[in-house]
Amino acid sequence: MPITERPLTHLVLPDGANLKTGDQIESFKLVSGPETLFPAFTWTLEFPFPHVYRIILAGPERPRPPHDNANAPSTFCKFELVSIDKDACRAVIAFPYPTGQSLDTSGLDIDTRLELRLFWKYQLFTEVWERRGRGNTETVTPIIRDLGARPYALTEHGIIRHWRLDRSRVHLGLGEKAAPIDLTGRRFIMHAADSAFYDAYKTDPLYKHTPFLISTPPPNQSGSQGSTYAIFHPTNSVATWDVGASIDYPSGGLSKQYIQDWGGLEEWVMIGNGVQGVVRTFSDIAGKPRLVGRDWLGYLASTVLLADLPNAQEELEKWPGLCVQNDIPCSAMHLSSGYTHDEETGEHLVFYLNTKRYPDFKKMVRIYHAAGMKILPNVKPYLLTMHPDYRRLEDEKGLFFDPLTQKAGRQNLSNNAEDQNGDGSWADFSAPETRRWWAEGIKGLIELGVDGIWDDNNEFFTRDDEILAENKFEFRREVSYNDGSRIKTGLLGRITGTEVMNKGSHDQMKEAFPERRVFILTRSGNPATFKYAASTWAGDNYTSWHNLRGSQHIQINSALSLMQNTGADVGGFAGPKPTPELFVRWVQLGVTHSRFCIHSDGSGGKLNTPWMYPEMLPIICQHIKWRYYILPFLNNLMWQSHLGAAPPNAPLFYGPFASDPVLYTPEIMRGFVAWLGVGQILVAPQLHEGERARKVYFPRTSPTDQACYFDISGQVDYRLFGPSAHERQNRTSMPVFRSGEWATIPTPLEYGGMFAREGAVIPVGRDKATLTALDGPARRYPDGVDVELDKDSGGGGDGQVGLDDWRGVLIFPPPPPPSSGLDNKVYEGEWVEDDGISADPSTYLVKIRYWVENVDGSLAVRVEAKAFMSKYGFQPLWSGRLFVFLPEGDWRAVVGAQAGLYPNRRADKAGGNARVMGQFVVPVEYVI
């Protein structure tokens, strides 16, 4: 391949830069000097946040990249020039200290002092060092250092950067990237592609564009750990991250390399305490994940086959009844693009309605709404030349422009007509006419009664960086060049179309239903896309055990990159039909992910459904119902994601577990164990064909951590497997394991592999789809249809939806008797309740405290509960009555509660079996 790398040298202080030691400054600048080969370049260093610095390097033909991926604060931090030697061309800069006006979510200790060392004698390079301790105990350690021989260079149209590489560090993030989770030693393209049928361990790129790389050091054996850093480049241009895949020995040996194809450089570097610190900071820069509606956390159905049938509406209308027949709760149906296929040719025509397949679309939607299921239609951002709106967009400059042909840029695009491709064009969302056309199409779908939009096939792979975009935006973007001229897609970035497409879908839904939470699902995206899209998924995966395993790693890195409502198509979208065993294991993993959807492409008659294997239906049913049972817990995880960017699915070394050195060993890093809620539920699935046992390590927070883990997988198994209710009631205890230990766990086919950590607080509800209110938006859809309730909730028909009028909480005190003696350790937890649908929801916050104490010579568990709500805010249907459950076999009294057996409720059985419990009337404290 052609190589262009010209070092950027001889930068100097600007004329009149009167800098001196001790100055408090807002930026540090260098400019091209008289000896440079590249005049008129400016390098600028600033601190948007106390532990975040931003570098902008721009010059002729390399402007600051246009984007909306990073949002700078209105006021930057001042920082101290600790020393400066103008003759030696070096300076030392102290990172700012947090103040009341500056945001800091790094989690760094107050005694950690950071300094940036800057050198510009010939090559410009920087280093960040951290100081810990004071006096004789002070340590000074490097965190991140440029490669001195190759720090900055220009490529043909862009920039190249090099840093020193410490191979002992773990590298994470970069969005949706192939397994394993550690990215060290590999090369990745920052570009979104339609990577259908990909290999979850090899294919690159996949569907997302997220140039956010985390570097974290493993701790030593005593648990001591240096700081973590992350680098974010908000450009939308194609780039390459080489995380040590290549070596240039003469230039310094091991290095990391970032090559950006177009434009100047914008680089954000953040320092934090562990991975958690930089993920939180990244969310301050790019924006917190959107709050996902409660109904989108259940089982989401999807199928290409049914949507493409000649009698598609007839077959799809049977779906709610099939769910009732097979006792499977379901919350939504994804409507694949078959509803848009031309009635004669079968070609794909976005926003066109095939009335032969769907003679009464609104009627179908009403059937789903009555069953409590939402409809999410598929839309695609390209037009075949035979599309009735093609000429309109072509005439109004709504398509990308090809300077070679002086016409709209055309290429072969999928048309779904006998699996052939057709000639067509990508819609240019930087053009006002395209945005108007898209708004009209989304409004048309809204009028049909849909509940969200599925933005699909939106990678915008125009295949030529010279193709021109219209580049006219009437809304603000962080960096934009609205000078009235077209811009090359290489500089603008193809993924900009994905971002603005999702904005268009979001804005129309918000305008139509301002009181409801908008749900947009997108296949592709950059960080800015998720200001508008609430959810995504890992694209068109291929059915295999290999890809099932890889999906767990993709899930985790996606979550660390702020895609925190995501998951893979359960059962595999393409390829062969999954075997019964593979399908069961995929469901068992899928119900622990933040998004749970079973999907298939219909090829060869493939139709993945929960009831596809009757002999496996009981296992599938129990796990899907378990997901609904923990829906209050999942809903709270989405709130924590929205408020603080806490990933629902996280690596084992996240947060307080970062100091456990075992978690960085190859066996763990290449394995598939992860958190569902950090420190709450340890997910250890069986992902190997035919195997019925696996090793599990139980993470610890420190070398002295003795917390227990309780095997709760048997509690999923509540109706159809395992011992009888009498046998369960007389068990002495559920299996318990100790932090820092390994154990070999039996994994029969019905076993999902889940362990609750001591101190966990897991709110639970009914094991079915439920409504949070008897009336209003929670029950009535915008088309006027009310959800039909089941008979248990007062409904008179065949409804499968109940009321969310019961709440339990699973707590996990140390098993009796405490192995380390009675220490009165207090465990705390909380969760957020809301109506699950409002755009601006009021909340009901429940806080729990519990501990073991001695009562009249016997050990008991004392529990305190309190709820907080606004005076006229949301109040759940369970009216403050909370049922507290101890682990299976724990028969200690719950102090201060009405204790007793609770044997005949399905919700309780979904948590295990009859057991000693406490019933509370939770006191409410009104807050403003």
Q: Per residue in 129-177, pLDDT tens?
A: 999 888 888 889 999 999 999 999 999 999 999 999 999 999 999 999 9
User: pLDDT at position 818, please?
Assistant: 56
**Spatial separation of the C-alpha atoms in residues 655 and 637, rounded to whole Å:** 15
Q: Note the pLDDT tens digit of each residue in 71-106.
A: 999 999 999 999 999 999 999 999 998 765 555 667
Question: By 3-state DSSP, what share of the chain in percent is helix, strand and coil, each rounded to 5?
Answer: 20, 30, 50
Strand-by-strand arrangement of the 139-145 sheet: 24-25, 79-85, 90-94, 113-119, 125-132, 139-145
**Spatial separation of the C-alpha atoms in residues 211 and 526, rounded to whole Å:** 9
Q: What is the pTM of this model?
A: 0.95
Q: Alpha-carbon Rg of the chain, whole angstroms?
A: 28
User: pLDDT at position 121, please?
Assistant: 96
Average pLDDT over residues 395-401: 97
Confidence of residue 2 (pLDDT cuts 50, 70, 90): low
C-beta atoms surrounding 856 within 10 Å: 6
Question: Per-residue pLDDT for 419 more than 80?
Answer: no
Pairing state of beta strands 893-895 and 858-869?
parallel
Question: Per-residue pLDDT for 211 more than 90?
Answer: yes
- Cis, bond preceding 817 (omega within 30 deg of 0): yes
Q: Which position has the token pair 């378990």?
A: 626
**Spatial separation of the C-alpha atoms in residues 120 and 114, rounded to whole Å:** 20
| Cα torsion through 496, 497, 499, 505, rounded to 10 | 160
Q: Note the pLDDT tens digit of each residue in 263-316.
A: 999 999 999 999 999 999 999 999 999 999 999 999 999 999 999 999 999 999
Q: Closest Cα partner for 337 from 458, 508, 176, 500?
A: 458
Q: Give the chain's largest Cα–Cα span.
A: 90
Q: How many CA atoms lie within 13 A of 619 on its CB side?
A: 22
Confidence of residue 317 (pLDDT cuts 50, 70, 90): very high
**Spatial separation of the C-alpha atoms in residues 396 and 685, rounded to whole Å:** 53
Q: Note the pLDDT tens digit of each residue in 774-830.
A: 999 999 999 999 999 998 888 877 789 999 999 999 999 998 775 545 677 999 999
User: pLDDT at position 793, please?
Assistant: 84
> Which DSSP symbol is given to 198?
B
Confidence of residue 415 (pLDDT cuts 50, 70, 90): low
Confidence of residue 906 (pLDDT cuts 50, 70, 90): very low
Name 483's Cβ contacts closer than 8 Å, sequence gap at least 6.
none
**Spatial separation of the C-alpha atoms in residues 532 and 114, rounded to whole Å:** 35
Higher per-residue confidence, 864 vs 632: 632
Hey, what are 37's tokens? 């080969």
User: pLDDT at position 848, please?
Assistant: 93
3-state SS assignment for residue 508: helix
Q: Which position has the token pair 């708004």?
A: 439
Q: Closest Cα partner for 651 from 557, 717, 528?
A: 557
Q: Which amino acid is at 852?
A: V
User: pLDDT at position 908, please?
Assistant: 29
User: pLDDT at position 858, please?
Assistant: 85
Confidence of residue 870 (pLDDT cuts 50, 70, 90): confident
Do 624 and 645 meet the contact criterion of CB atoms below 8 Å apart?
Answer: no
Highest mean pLDDT range out of 358-367, 415-424, 893-902?
358-367
User: pLDDT at position 719, please?
Assistant: 30
Hey, what are 594's tokens? 């933040």
Question: Per-residue pLDDT for 384 more than 70?
Answer: yes
Q: Which position has the token pair 């294991």?
A: 585
pLDDT exceeding 90 applies to what percent of the chain?
A: 82
Confidence of residue 240 (pLDDT cuts 50, 70, 90): very high
Q: Note the pLDDT tens digit of each residue in 479-522.
A: 999 777 999 999 999 999 999 999 999 999 999 999 999 999 99
**Spatial separation of the C-alpha atoms in residues 156 and 855, rounded to whole Å:** 77
Distance of CA 49 to the CA centre of its chain: 24
User: pLDDT at position 327, please?
Assistant: 97
Q: What is the mean pLDDT of the chain?
A: 92
Average pLDDT over residues 203-217: 98
Q: Which position has the token pair 């956010």?
A: 212
3-state SS assignment for residue 273: coil
Q: Closest Cα partner for 562 from 495, 635, 641?
A: 641
Question: Per-residue pLDDT for 5 more than 50?
Answer: yes
**Angle CA 13–15–21, to nearest 5:** 55
**Spatial separation of the C-alpha atoms in residues 446 and 508, rounded to whole Å:** 9
Three-state secondary structure string covering 86-131: CCCCEEEEECCCCCCCCCCCCCCCCCCEEEEEEECCCECEEEEEEE
Confidence of residue 20 (pLDDT cuts 50, 70, 90): very high
H-run or E-run covering 718? none
Q: Closest Cα partner for 438 from 487, 407, 398, 401?
A: 398
User: pLDDT at position 729, please?
Assistant: 41
Q: Closest Cα partner for 883 from 807, 830, 828, 813?
A: 807
